[in-house]
């Protein structure tokens, strides 16, 4: 791992399942590490458990559980995917997440921030205290919805919970609409108008995309239209106007 100080801590969230949180997190991690060639950590906070173990063939012994216990040995518990991209798999037991103390997470985050320029966090649908603590440290939160009205209503409620219940700054939360099809009656500006939230952009529904492409290695990933679309979102100012909260 190279010495650096994290400039981007981005959390991908949604209280709607299957909207593409994990796919977006991994594509963003690949983009930062490969295109920008910056040391990047993909940090899994989905303890339901999440998909990283299966997608990246990670040994169950090397998870967030050990990294929280021995933060100074973080490099032993991450899996290196390419020269700039490391992956930290989440806790394997959803109940264990409830017992992680804020101080424990922050000690690990201190080590993470010293070692990576970018940290991309994939979260789970059900909010827990570990996710809230991570969001309080994030510089940008991408709130993901698909273009269905029920998903849209859910994420507006989620936004309220985050900002009014947990005092997460509105300024760092942007809406991202995934799986948009041309048949959808909502246009991008409708989402912005109805929600009153800044919309980061949308990702089209790609009928040939499946997140298992991430298990196939970097050349397959870079060929996918989904990866290019996520790259465009990043290039088109993912970080414009992001206040320095840390």
Ligand X SMILES: Nc1ncnc2c1ncn2[C@@H]1O[C@H](COP(=O)(O)OP(=O)(O)OP(=O)(O)O)[C@@H](O)[C@H]1O
Interaction site with Mg ion (CB under 5 A): 21-22
Question: Of 32 and 227, which has the nearer Cβ to ligand X?
Answer: 227
Please tell me what DSSP assigns to residue 63: B
> Could you tell me the smallest distance in angstroms from the CB atom of residue 146 to ligand X?
8
Ranked by CB distance to Mg ion, the top (closest) residue is 22
Question: Of 53 and 71, which has the nearer Cβ to Mg ion?
Answer: 53
> Could you tell me the smallest distance in angstroms from the CB atom of residue 63 to ligand X?
17
Question: Of 41 and 117, which has the nearer Cβ to Mg ion?
Answer: 41
> Could you tell me the smallest distance in angstroms from the CB atom of residue 210 to ligand X?
4
Question: Of 115 and 178, which has the nearer Cβ to ligand X?
Answer: 178
List residues near ligand X by CB under 6 A: 14, 17-23, 46, 125, 178-179, 203, 205-206, 209-211, 226
Binding partner at 7 among Mg ion, ligand X, none, C-beta below 5 to 8 Å by kind = none
Binding partner at 17 among ligand X, Mg ion, none, C-beta below 5 to 8 Å by kind = ligand X
> Could you tell me the smallest distance in angstroms from the CB atom of residue 163 to ligand X?
21
Binding partner at 113 among Mg ion, ligand X, none, C-beta below 5 to 8 Å by kind = none
Per the CB < 8 A criterion, the answer to whether 200 and 180 are in contact is no
> Could you tell me the smallest distance in angstroms from the CB atom of residue 72 to ligand X?
30
The string of DSSP codes covering 73-120 is GHHHHSEEEETTEEEEB--S-HHHHHT--HHHHHHHHHHHHHH-SEEE
Binding partner at 125 among ligand X, Mg ion, none, C-beta below 5 to 8 Å by kind = ligand X
Label residues 131-163 b or e (16+ Cβ within 10 Å = b): bbbbbbbbbbbbbbbbbeeebbebbbebbeebe
Angle between helices 21-30 and 225-235 (to 10 degrees): 70
Question: Of 18 and 165, which has the nearer Cβ to ligand X?
Answer: 18
Binding partner at 18 among Mg ion, ligand X, none, C-beta below 5 to 8 Å by kind = ligand X
Burial class, 164, CB count within 10 angstroms (exposed 0-12 / middle 13-18 / buried 19+) = exposed
Question: Of 18 and 243, which has the nearer Cβ to ligand X?
Answer: 18
Burial class, 189, CB count within 10 angstroms (exposed 0-12 / middle 13-18 / buried 19+) = exposed
> Could you tell me the smallest distance in angstroms from the CB atom of residue 225 to ligand X?
9
- Residue 49: is the preceding peptide bond cis (ω within 30°)? yes
């Amino acid at each position: 791992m190279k010495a650096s100080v994290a400039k981007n801590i981005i959390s991908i969230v949604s209280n709607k399942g299957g909207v593409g949180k994990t796919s977006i997190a991994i594509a963003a991690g690949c983009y930062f590490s490969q295109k920008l060639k910056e040391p990047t950590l993909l940090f899994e906070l989905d303890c339901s458990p999440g998909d990283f173990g299966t997608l990246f063939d990670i040994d169950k012994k090397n998870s967030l559980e050990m990294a929280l216990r021995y933060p100074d040995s973080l490099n032993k518990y991450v899996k290196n995917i390419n020269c700039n991209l490391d992956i930290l798999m989440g806790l394997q037991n959803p109940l264990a997440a409830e017992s992680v103390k804020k101080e424990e997470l922050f000690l690990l985050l201190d080590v993470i921030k010293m070692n990576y320029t970018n940290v991309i966090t994939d979260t789970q649908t059900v909010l827990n205290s570990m996710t809230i603590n991570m969001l309080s440290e994030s510089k940008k939160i991408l709130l993901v919805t698909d273009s269905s009205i029920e998903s849209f209503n859910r994420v507006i409620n989620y936004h309220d919970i985050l900002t009014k219940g947990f005092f997460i700054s509105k300024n760092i939360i942007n809406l991202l609409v995934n799986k948009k099809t041309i048949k959808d009656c909502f246009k991008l500006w409708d989402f912005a108008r109805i929600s009153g939230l800044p919309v980061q952009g949308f990702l089209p529904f790609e009928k040939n995309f499946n997140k298992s492409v991430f298990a196939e290695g970097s050349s397959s990933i870079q060929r996918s239209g989904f990866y290019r679309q996520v790259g465009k979102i990043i290039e088109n100012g993912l970080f414009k106007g992001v206040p320095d909260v840390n």
